[in-house]
Amino acid sequence: MARRKKIYEGKAKILYEGPEPGTLVQYFKDDATAFNAEKRATIEGKGVLNNRLSEFFMTGLSNIGVPNHFIKRLNMREQLIRQVEIIPLEVIVRNFAAGSMAKRLGLEEGTPLPRPIVEFSYKDDALGDPLVPEEYIIAFGWASQQDMDDIVALALRVNDFLTGVMFGVGIKLVDFKIEIGRIWDNDYMRLIVADEISPDSCRLWDIETGQKLDKDVFRRDLGNLTDAYTEVARRLGVLPSNVTHAAKPHVIN
Ligand SMILES: Nc1ncnc2c1ncn2[C@@H]1O[C@H](COP(=O)(O)OP(=O)(O)OP(=O)(O)O)[C@@H](O)[C@H]1O
Ligand SMILES: [Mg+2]
């Protein structure tokens, strides 16, 4: 079999050329990084869990009409996705203060916010993904005003969906990050959710105990990361062993 062409290798995933034009294969690695890759580790099983969990969330989004890149899962670590042109932003939605926001504003972690707050970081590892105002984004041409309105609307729909799904299994969605990409149907451009949705990119706290079930377990040395992600997967019914419960991919054209 001919070797697949590697398109990009990031910190957590590898992208390979897909079987058809406009598709990619996304491979989930076991590597974990934090603090702009100053802290690194390989955490056995993380990639398998994130592949499953991202499939679960993206399929759920498709089912409520939120467009995203997921096409189908291929195996334990790989999924077929639509290739997009990534907008160089981390789109962050916060429901409770935590992490950099808590630090910046001197808020106690867990303080409820008056409403969901959407913020943007410019994706540039060398600069440490700095927070940027919408005005910069438009002035520098990374996205138009219309794009930004669409991105905020998409982000808030993802927030409502994820908040509800997580609440249903006793987990509080504190905040999360998504990436958005452009696809073209002839001359018509659309924005869709891309990258991944997993405990690597969310803050998830047990509603009863406050126990952290996300990448902060790794960032702050709070225990075994795979155990935390396994707990999320178990509650959602998407454990790797539980193949028959996996949601069927549903593609919206
Ligand atoms: N559907 C898609 N089409 C094209 N690129 C994508 C798609 N989904 C995600 N990507 C990009 O693929 C890469 C995934 O790799 P990974 O998350 O490991 O990167 P990373 O090390 O976090 O680096 P980056 O700072 O670029 O995100 C990211 O650069 C992401 O923006
Ligand atoms: Mg990434």
Encode pLDDT of 182-239 as tens digits. 999 889 999 999 999 999 999 999 999 999 999 999 999 999 999 999 999 999 999 8
Confidence of residue 60 (pLDDT cuts 50, 70, 90): very high
- What are the tens digits of pLDDT across the range 78-113? 999 999 999 999 999 999 999 999 999 999 999 999
| Positions of CATH 3.30.470.20 in the chain | 85-206
Task: Classify 175 in phi/psi space as left (phi over 0), alpha (psi -120 to 50) or beta.
Answer: beta
**Which sign, positive or negative, has the C-alpha torsion 219, 225, 229, 234?**
negative
Q: How far does residue 146's CA lie from ligand 2's centre (Å)? A: 25
For residue 241, pLDDT beyond 90: no
163, HSE (Cβ side, Cα atoms, 13 Å): 13
Give residue 246's pLDDT.
42
Give residue 239's pLDDT.
82
- Average pLDDT score over the chain: 94
Residues having CB closer than 6 A to ligand 1 are 8, 10-13, 15, 24, 69, 81-84, 86, 123, 125, 179, 181, 194-195
pTM listed for this prediction: 0.94
| Positions of CATH 3.30.200.20 in the chain | 6-84+224-252
Q: Determine the average pLDDT of the residues in 159-164.
A: 98
For residue 181, pLDDT beyond 90: yes
Which of 7, 8, 142 should be mutated for ligand 1, with most atoms under 8 A from CB?
8
Give residue 109's pLDDT.
98
β-strand pairing of 70-73 with 89-96 = unpaired
Give residue 226's pLDDT.
97
For residues 158 and 60, the answer to whether their CB atoms sit within 8 Å is no
Q: If you classify domain 85-206 with CATH, what class do you get?
A: alpha beta
Confidence of residue 245 (pLDDT cuts 50, 70, 90): very low
* CA 34 from centroid of its chain's CA atoms: 15
- Name the residue among 249, 204, 208 with its Cα closest to residue 231: 204
Statement: 6-84+224-252 belongs to CATH 3.40.50.300: no
Give residue 1's pLDDT.
54
Which of 6, 13, 82 should be mutated for ligand 1, with most atoms under 8 A from CB?
13
Q: Determine the average pLDDT of the residues in 46-58.
A: 98
Atom of ligand 1 nearest to the CA of 12: 18
Confidence of residue 248 (pLDDT cuts 50, 70, 90): very low
Residues of the chain above pLDDT 90, percent: 91
